Amino acid sequence: MAPPLLNLDGIKLTFGGTPLLDGAALSASAGEKIALVGRNGSGKSTLLKIAAGMIEPQNGEVFRQPSATVRYLPQLPDMDGFATVRAYVEAGLGPADDPHRATYLMEHLGLTGEERPSDLSGGEARRAALARVMAPEPDILLLDEPTNHLDLSVIEWLEEELARTSSAVILVSHDRRFLERVSRATVWLDRGQTRRLDKGFAHFEEWRDQVLEEEEREQHKLGRQIVREEHWLRYGVTARRKRNMRRLGELQTMRQRFRSHRGAEGTATMVASDAAESGKLVIEAKAIDKSFGDLTVVKDFSTRIQRGDRVGLVGPNGAGKTTLLKMLTGELAPDAGTVRLGVNLEIATLDQKREAVDPQETLAHYLTDGRGENLLVNGEQRHVVSYMKDFLFKPEQARTPVRELSGGERARLLLARVLARPANLLVLDEPTNDLDMETLELLQELVAGFAGTVILVSHDRDFLDRTVTSVIAPEGNGRWIEYAGGYSDMLAQRGGSRLEDRKARSKAETAEASPKAEQPASKSPAKKLSFKQKFALDSLPKKIEAVTASISRLENNIADPSFYERDPVSFQKTIAALDKERTTLAALEEEWLELEMLREEMEG
């Protein structure tokens, strides 16, 4: 095995009370892809910061190869002091780094580089931060929740990019499918200590359960041994005093081990508050349309959602998922068509912006809306501290300000508030962000077993596969199609990418329209592509991806309902630019298709 570029050993760190890290270890060699997993608040981000040199541990050894370069992606990037995204990204380059790499990454991540940091959405800021840390192609790449706020196409591109990179990658993420596809080793941070599995995340959960079962058996054996030793101490025949004192000392040591053992972290209890049963028909949409200026977001879409259905909305950022969701729930009126809501609907909503929370507000005050110490859950009065325990909060956190919560704790708090409200229709917009694996499993069980109806927006492919009964996805030009099953079922029904479909159709049409193609040509064909053709074939996919990203960004801008009212001139310019980019994309795809068909023909 290659010598490690990074090695942390015996790391200890305490912020008062129970140690956050108590002998943790982490190492990475060149090219390794490691998933760092653990519960929310277990110290994953802190361990990454120690690896990056941003935090000094109280004890332990930290070794980095002197020549190794390290880049760290924080959950909340700081872009203060930079006029443009390009300036921010290029500031991460070293003297010997290639500036073209920064341009390449920005194009693939849907950024021009001229955006102002203050104008960026959460997803755009995350993409800019990814470009900054990946551009130097560092020896060690530390990524903290890299997929948050990214749409599916960017997540899939990032998977391929990380698989190709020669950098050692240590990543923290809640996205199971992403971890399974990228990681080749897994480090589990649990109760301050780390355990390593030299297999990818796909094997982690089975291994974790085995470790916990073995730990429980060992603790049980230790308890029985203590009982035997105490019995000997009381009733055994007295032997030499020295021997007795030794056994007494061993008994005290065993007692200390037994008392100091920290059991596995508790499991959250998630139960949605029941409301009266809704009617069998929950939502019926017929031929609904929605446009903003010249941009059609939804065109002639119809669906019928019945009680018990679990519907997922997917698509790139800016495709119009939130707009469609608001129309289906009656929050936004369609331009044409009708939406009919069923009877007796009680809706509980977790929106993408997570509703404004005063950072100074305490957890107890937030959950009870300031109405004393109790709240009504499923028709029963619950003390707020008791309800908080269901979501893994400690009693002393009741008076803790929201600002002091981690991202995962805040996500649990918001879920606790939503699930306390009686509902028979749950509307969840990106509910998986920042949740740890165990809490995510419980949310999956809650959604899958909810007696009412669920509509959710998510970029988490594994979560969609485990929960929804149908998926609504955009097909372009405002068209949306509903597919039965989860995300993987949708891909199977689509039968591959649209570009591959066009290629297959074009080849079939060419064969039908050119009967002479089956006859021997009078002139021998060229043996291989010319240099110019080969260069074009290699470079066109990158251009196509860049134009596609530009289209996505323009569509995202236009999807803002207030854009047209705020600046009609800019809105029209954006529409014109979008039309131009779509024309360019069609031409590039057509050119690539012709060259690819020519290459296949020459290769027989």
516 — pLDDT class (breaks 50, 70, 90): very low
pLDDT, position 6: 95
Distance in angstroms (rounded) separating the CA atoms of residues 183 and 37: 11
pLDDT at 115 over 70: yes
Contact 109, 169 (CB under 8 A): no
Distance in angstroms (rounded) separating the CA atoms of residues 348 and 283: 15
- Tokens standing for 360? 């100074």
Query: What is the value of pTM for the model shown?
Result: 0.66
Q: Is 154 exposed, middle or buried (0-12, 13-18, 19+ CB in 10 A)?
A: buried
Distance in angstroms (rounded) separating the CA atoms of residues 386 and 17: 22
Give pLDDT tens digits for 331-362: 999 999 999 998 888 888 876 555 567 788 88
Compute the average pLDDT of residues 228-256.
Answer: 60
Q: Following CA atoms 447, 453, 459, 461 in sequence, which dihedral angle do they give, to the nearest 10 degrees? A: 60
Compute the average pLDDT of residues 538-549.
Answer: 82
pLDDT, position 502: 43
Strand-pair partners of 480: 474
369 — pLDDT class (breaks 50, 70, 90): confident
Q: Is 268 exposed, middle or buried (0-12, 13-18, 19+ CB in 10 A)?
A: buried
Tell me, what DSSP letter sits at residue 235?
Answer: H
Distance in angstroms (rounded) separating the CA atoms of residues 386 and 375: 10
Share of the chain above pLDDT 70, in %: 83
Compute the average pLDDT of residues 287-314.
Answer: 92
pLDDT, position 523: 41
**Nearest alpha-carbon partner for 186 in 195, 175, 174:** 195
**Nearest alpha-carbon partner for 414 in 270, 317, 266:** 270
